[in-house]
Amino acid sequence: MGSVWTRYDSKALDQVHDNILKTVEESAYRSGRAVRFKRDQTELANGKHVIHSIECESMYRKDVNNDSPILLMHGYGAGSLLFANNLAGLAHETGRKVIAVDWLGFGASSRPKFKGKQVDDTVEWFLDTFDEWRATKNLEKFDMIAHSMGGYLGAFYCLGKGKGRVDNLVLASPVGVPHAPAEMKTSSNTLKILRKLWNWGVTPNHLVRGAGPYGHRLVEKAVNARFGDVDEERLGLSGGDLQTRTNVVDYLFHITAAPGSGEHALSKLLAPGAYAKKPLCEELPKLEGVNLLFVYGDRDWMDASAGERLAFSSLQHLPTAEVITVPGSHHVYLDHPEVFDKQVSTFLKKTAAKKTLLESTIEYAATSIRSIKLDIPETMCVA
């Protein structure tokens, strides 16, 4: 299924998935961290939608004390395949199953007509199908690592439908944390036009689709501009050759040129300037019982200070609330995947150890109390 004008092709999208996963699998094996990938198209109960995901497990390492998976949730305009190297890295580091999921309307998941009007029903549009996918996969507990807009949605999931299901939430360069500035200058005609286009829901995807046969070239230029000085091994989609970059371009082209759907959520959730209409600085303090980690790049265009202010003030009631900065820009998981994976794995292991220690202490105390026998003289008994 595809389009003659845009050159989008779902079969070609399937092929590029297979190409990249095979490349990463072979690279992981050569580096001594053998993993196995599995793609899944989960049909939801209503029969209307399919959610695509990629699972990864280490072939040699397994955490026998933690069988809950780690979920990776992508941001706006991205997809699960961009986590390919992180899937392998995290599976190796933690010994746990790692699953990258395409939100409804993105990646290789179904692309129904977007129906959101306001923030709340837009968030529900994504989270309803995500939670249905979770139930279909029989996932009761899991950790979540969510990037950018995925982090925004992931936070609301932990506050609502997923309350009590997520032990650890890692927000990687999350969008929508701070309040918008009191005054945003829009004096120039260019900014006024951009604001109108934003409010009309015009997205970069429209440009790629509108360019027809030239759309692929536009995506290629964007990738070269973004990663021009980055070798393929550091793209997070290792291969180390020209074919790797070609596969990345092909993937981004096909998920961008695919029928419009989830992309239209952007203007419903965010105001111009990428400020959330319902900022997380007001919502995250309502979290309970979740270990929270903010991860920012040292050249990030998201406001790291907003995460820091939250973590060190209104989130102190959480078991853990931390902020770390790693080398890279907004796509911290792509710029230096090995550093990102190591830092996140360390956090997950640390919180797991704290949980185990707490549970052991509680069990020891309970056992000690049960073992105490009170010898009460009969004379002290009340008739």
pLDDT tens digit sequence for 217-257:
999 888 887 766 555 555 545 544 556 778 889 999 999 99
Can you give the pLDDT at residue 5? 63
Residue 31 dihedral angles phi and psi, to the nearest 5°: -90, 10
Can you give the pLDDT at residue 157? 99
Helices 337-371 and 84-94 sit at what angle, rounded to 10 degrees? Answer: 40
How far is 138 from 116, CA to CA, in rounded Å? 27
What the chain holds in terms of domains, given with CATH numbers, is: 10-179+265-380 (3.40.50.1820)
How far is 338 from 260, CA to CA, in rounded Å? 33
Secondary structure class of 321 (helix, strand, coil) = strand
Considering the entire predicted model, what is its pTM?
Answer: 0.89
Can you give the pLDDT at residue 246? 83
In this structure, how many other beta carbons lie within 10 angstroms of the beta carbon of residue 117? Answer: 10
Q: Which residues contact 123 (CB under 8 A, 6 or more apart)?
A: 153, 156, 269
Mean pLDDT by 10 residues, the chain (383 residues): 69 94 92 95 91 97 86 97 96 97 98 94 97 97 98 98 97 96 63 61 80 88 72 50 75 93 94 91 96 96 94 92 92 91 97 75 58 50 42
